[in-house]
Each structure stands twice: as structure tokens, then as C-alpha cells.
Amino acid sequence: MNHGILYRFFVRWLVSSLGLWIAAGLLRNGVHYDSNLRVIIVAGLILALINAVIRPIVVILSLPAILFTLGIFMLFINGLMVYLVSVLYPSLQISSFWVAILAGMIIGLVNYLVTAILEIREK
């Protein structure tokens, strides 16, 4: 197996976990993990797997809605992926779909910032 693929997945896992942790801190009333870091790490792994497998399929199927809304529909897709993690892993509790959308926005921002920092360091 290619080590580059494993490295990228590991980075995505860490970034997803970091984003979930930050989202839980910012959205205290909406995201609960019982202050157990293991819950964040496992939920980050599940989110990374969902984003690698399920999200591309959902994006392709909803491409007309994404184009029609000029990309804003991606917020709902990101929220759906976060909400799906809470359904598959009940230790991570998301109070509503709207909180999942906000958490998805925070995770996306963290992902963007970490990716930008890593790209700068590689150059």
C-alpha cells in the first residue's frame, strides 16, 4: 500500500478530530462528547472515513443542487456528514442538524487552515 495515501488519511483523521474538538468547544450547548478525548479521536476517524467514501458519492448525486446554489448546498452536505457521525457513533452527540451544519463549517475552516499551513511548510 502506498505510504502517501496512508499519510494523507492520517492527516485527515487528525484534522477531523481537531476540527470536532474545536467545534465542540465553540458549540458547547450543541456538541457533547463528555469531555472524553477518545470520543473525539474515534469520531474524527469515522468522519475521515465518511468523507473519503460516502461524501464523494453524495456530492456527485447532488451536483445539480450545488451548482444551482453556487456551492452553498455544500454546507448542508458537510452538516449531513457530521450528523451521520453522531448517528453512527452515539458517544458524540449533536443536538440538531443545524448544529451539525455549524460544526461542519468549523471543521471545514480548520481543515482549510491546516492544509494551507502544511502546503506552505512543504514549499
Q: What is the pLDDT of residues 41-84, one digit of tens each?
A: 999 999 999 999 999 999 999 999 999 999 999 999 999 999 99
Whether residue 43 contacts residue 85, with contact meaning beta carbons closer than 8 Å, is answered with yes
Residue 89 has pLDDT above 80, yes or no: yes
Domain assignment present for residue 4? The answer is no
Whether residue 65 contacts residue 42, with contact meaning beta carbons closer than 8 Å, is answered with no
User: Which residue, chain included where needed, has cell 465542540?
Assistant: 24
pLDDT of the residue at 75: 95
Domain assignment present for residue 1? The answer is no
Domain assignment present for residue 116? The answer is yes
Angle, CA of 106, 118 and 109, to the nearest 5° = 10
Structural domain boundaries, residue 68: 9-122
CA–CA gap between residue 58 and residue 62 (Å, rounded) = 6
pLDDT of the residue at 25: 95
pLDDT of the residue at 1: 58
CA–CA gap between residue 105 and residue 75 (Å, rounded) = 7
pTM of the predicted structure, to 2 decimals: 0.91
- Total domains in the fold of the chain: 1
Strands, DSSP E only, in the chain?
31-32, 93-94
Domain assignment present for residue 106? The answer is yes
Domain assignment present for residue 87? The answer is yes
- pLDDT one-digit tens code per residue, 11-31: 999 999 999 999 999 999 999
